[in-house]
Structure 1
Amino acid sequence: MSKVVLLALTVAASSLLGCTIEDATEPDPSAGPSEPADRTFSASDGVTLHYVEYPGPGSPVMLLHGFLGSAQGNWIAPGISAAIAARHRVVLLDQRGHGESDKPEDASAYGERMLTDVIELLDHLDIPRAHLGGYSMGGAMTLGLMRLSPERFITATVGAMGLEETEESFRTAAEAMDPQGTDPDEEKILEMAGAGEPPDPLVVEAIVKGHGTWWPPAVELRAIAFPVLSIIGEFDEPYSTTSRLRRELPNLKTVIVPGRTHLTTIIDPMLRDGIASFVDAHDEP
């Protein structure tokens, strides 16, 4: 992962730690999702992981937050999980090193081990198949899980993330299409970020080192048969980021959120509604 992308992930996720976004549109209260429950389970290496579960009526949806984020900041505060839980069972994992989960300081505790945590949580909950979605680092993990265990997923949503283009000509053409701009909501988010408690630098270093051991994943995109949604901000290099996905995934839908950046797409109702409608459209009976 490039230093530029890593910096973007750090800033974006830090801005969402424990946030309450005033601009996020509240989900329809008439939908009436069940109240979420805080739970924990022990991964096979002994690390205790926290997750939030909405016991909704439909097929399960597993959502993965961004780097240094949390289930609360990434999915609950912007109203995303509640909107989806109106029709689905929703599981939000605080990944190791994040939120209320254990935070080992050894890089060997991270890396692909974080992908394995997701599969182990699905097994713990007796979920054979689920809709999978992630934002930023969570989007990177979604791509990694598409390689690791594609048979476990009904659909995948890759938010604010992609894979580096392997063909120079395609990369050059896509980069030329990327719009340039800023979002005034970034300043508001950065102000909230400055008010939060800083993360443990030893944990941050361990996560970053571990991430580099498996990213980018050697995923054969053309072999992924299930539907995939790519959703990304207009000012988050949307064409160069998703060029390879658009070229190689056989069942891809791409949504570009107008006027949004890597930091601000997460608070836009278009992301919330896009994930919810995509999951509904491709649900299993």
Structure 2
Amino acid sequence: MANLSGVFRRGAQELGYGDLAGERRPVVFTHGAGMDHRMFDVQARALHERGHRVVVWDQRGHGESGLAPGIRFTAALALDDLTALLDHLGLDRPILIGHSLGGNLAQALVRRSPERAGGLVVVDSTWNAGPLSAVERLLLKCAAPSLALIPAARLPGLMARASAVTPEGIAESEATFARMPKRVFLDVWRATVSLVDPEPGYRTPVPLGLIRGEDDRTGNIASAMPRWARAEGVSEHVVPGAGHVVTLDAPELATEAIVDIVDGWTAEPTA
């Protein structure tokens, strides 16, 4: 699915997507900040081979979707884009799989409209509704201003080395980050942070799966996701030898984790 064959419009914005037909439950992959749909190539192919209808897409300002003139990336627009994509394709309660920002968006959609999703798989993303310490709040507040101080030419490499731990993961991440102008990346980062909105006692109203790279050191994911798993009473899939972009650092192990979760929800009944 390296090239997206579908396009739909939201006003002046064009959004690219790929849609592979299948008889089993639809699955929608949403990539992380600064990345694009290709980060899920291996996992999308695996689920399609297992009979699922599989949808991938590029958020506005990412990959093949571009950014409409005069429009800045915001969390509200991205969330509405995801909802509009489900409507455009007529998807009935698909399983939402999101990485990083994509995981934050998928959480927000389920929180706003739980009837729209049949399951939620969050990959290397923090817990939107989870509690935050004073230190975590301060780090979130300072993240974008700190990134703004980094020269544009150095930002893709620094972000890649913070996100991936394998040579292959770092190289692919840096090449993808380099396609996005710094001003757009900062808006995307601000949007990601804005989706973190603690709500004591909130519990995910649809089946939940959690996956993270063992060596993910971005934000508070390494501490927040275990807390989230305990609060929701679900297992956390920790992938060894992988950082934040687990699907690039350890594609086969990440695929196994995703397939294990999805199969557990959609297994065909035995005769």
TM range (shorter): 0.7 to 0.9
Q: May I ask how many residue pairs the two structures share in their alignment?
A: 233
Instruction: Report if aligned partners of 1:158, 1:230 keep a CA contact under 8 Å in 2.
Output: yes
Structure 1 partner of 2:184: 203
Residue number among 216, 227, 235 corresponding to 1:236 in the alignment: 216
Residue number among 35, 44, 54 corresponding to 2:20 in the alignment: 54
CA distance in 2, matches of 1:274, 1:265: 10
Deviates more, 1:99-108 or 1:79-88: 99-108
Structure 1 partner of 2:147: none
Instruction: Report if aligned partners of 2:93, 2:115 keep a CA contact under 8 Å in 1.
Output: yes
Structure 1 partner of 2:240: 258
Taking structure 1 as reference, are residues 124 and 221 closer, same or farther at Cα in structure 2, changes over 3 Å only?
farther
Structure 2 partner of 1:117: 81
Residue number among 40, 56, 60 corresponding to 1:75 in the alignment: 40
SS of the aligned residue for 2:235 comes to: strand
Percent identity reads 25
Amino acid corresponding to residue 8 of structure 2 in structure 1: F
Instruction: Report if aligned partners of 1:97, 1:203 keep a CA contact under 8 Å in 2.
Output: yes
CA distance in 1, matches of 2:228, 2:69: 34
Report the alpha carbon displacement of residue 118 of structure 1 after superposing the two structures with TM: 1.0
CA distance in 2, matches of 1:202, 1:106: 13
Amino acid corresponding to residue 208 of structure 2 in structure 1: V
SS of the aligned residue for 2:17 comes to: strand
Structure 2 partner of 1:141: 105
Instruction: Report if aligned partners of 2:169, 2:249 keep a CA contact under 8 Å in 1.
Output: no
CA distance in 1, matches of 2:173, 2:72: 28
SS of the aligned residue for 1:118 comes to: helix
Q: Does 1:85 align with 2:48?
A: yes
Structure 2 partner of 1:64: 30
SS of the aligned residue for 1:52 comes to: strand
Deviates more, 1:53-62 or 1:258-267: 258-267
Q: Does 1:153 align with 2:153?
A: no
Instruction: Report if aligned partners of 2:26, 2:91 keep a CA contact under 8 Å in 1.
Output: yes
Structure 2 partner of 1:6: none
Taking structure 1 as reference, are residues 259 and 208 closer, same or farther at Cα in structure 2, changes over 3 Å only?
closer
**Unaligned residue ranges in structure 1 (runs of 5+):** 1-17, 19-35, 172-181
1:152-191 to 2 correspondences below 5 Å: 152-163=116-127, 166=131, 185-191=165-171
Structure 1 partner of 2:254: 271
Report the alpha carbon displacement of residue 89 of structure 1 after superposing the two structures with TM: 0.2
**Unaligned residue ranges in structure 2 (runs of 5+):** 137-161
Structure 1 partner of 2:141: none
Q: Does 1:102 align with 2:56?
A: no
CA distance in 2, matches of 1:136, 1:49: 19
Instruction: Report if aligned partners of 1:59, 1:89 keep a CA contact under 8 Å in 2.
Output: yes
Taking structure 1 as reference, are residues 246 and 128 closer, same or farther at Cα in structure 2, changes over 3 Å only?
same
Instruction: Report if aligned partners of 1:186, 1:264 keep a CA contact under 8 Å in 2.
Output: no
Amino acid corresponding to residue 227 of structure 2 in structure 1: R
Deviations 1:150-209 (A, max 9, x none): 1111110000112275276xx9xxxxxxxxxx9995334334455565422232233234
Report the alpha carbon displacement of residue 98 of structure 1 after superposing the two structures with TM: 0.5
Taking structure 1 as reference, are residues 62 and 90 closer, same or farther at Cα in structure 2, changes over 3 Å only?
same
SS of the aligned residue for 1:89 comes to: strand
SS of the aligned residue for 2:5 comes to: strand
Taking structure 1 as reference, are residues 134 and 266 closer, same or farther at Cα in structure 2, changes over 3 Å only?
farther
Structure 2 partner of 1:26: none
Instruction: Report if aligned partners of 1:61, 1:88 keep a CA contact under 8 Å in 2.
Output: yes
CA distance in 1, matches of 2:23, 2:237: 27
CA distance in 1, matches of 2:223, 2:180: 31
SS of the aligned residue for 2:83 comes to: helix
Amino acid corresponding to residue 38 of structure 1 in structure 2: S
CA distance in 1, matches of 2:9, 2:87: 12
